[in-house]
Amino acid sequence: MFRPALIPVAIAVLVAVFFSTGAQWMVVQTIGWANMVVTYSRGDATLGEALRKTFDGEHPCNLCHSVRDADTGSKTGDAAPSSAPALSIAGILPPAGVRLRAPGFMVYHYPVLVQEAALRPGLPRLQPPRVRVG
């Protein structure tokens, strides 16, 4: 049964879970990464180089430093910066000399669906009962 009075309570619980798990730092970090990719790709770098530079952990922006300091401070109870390594997904990106190609085009042959019904050879042996009106 739907109870409209519980909607504010459900929203409050979701917001509490969001902030208690530290999800706000994931949102801010994602915004920082998007900004870094745009900034790096505006120069002479290609998109691949901009992505590599963004996620290698060696070129963090000010927002990345702020997120790291705030996130580690919230886990330890103080806001002091730590020497934790920056977030990096460099192991996922291919090396600089590797070129990725799209797979070749394949033609799929699907089976033909035949929908035919066999005709009755004749009338049924026993005719259905008839109702006389009138």
| 13 touches 55 (CB < 8 A) | no
User: Residue 35: which residues within 8 A CB-CB, separation 6 or more?
Assistant: 61, 63
Judge whether residue 49 has pLDDT over 90.
no
Segment 4-32 shows an average pLDDT of 88
Confidence of residue 79 (pLDDT cuts 50, 70, 90): very low
DSSP string, 5-58: GGHHHHHHHHHHHHHHTTHHHHHHHHHHHHHHHHHHHHTT--HHHHHHHHHSSS
Q: What is the pLDDT of residue 50?
A: 87
Segment 10-29 shows an average pLDDT of 88
Q: What is the pLDDT of residue 93?
A: 67
Judge whether residue 30 has pLDDT over 70.
yes
Q: What is the pLDDT of residue 134?
A: 66
Lowest mean pLDDT among 28-32, 63-67, 87-91, 106-110: 87-91
| 59 touches 51 (CB < 8 A) | no
**Nearest-angstrom CA–CA distance, 64 and 85:** 11
* Prediction pTM value: 0.48
Q: What is the pLDDT of residue 40?
A: 86
Judge whether residue 80 has pLDDT over 60.
no
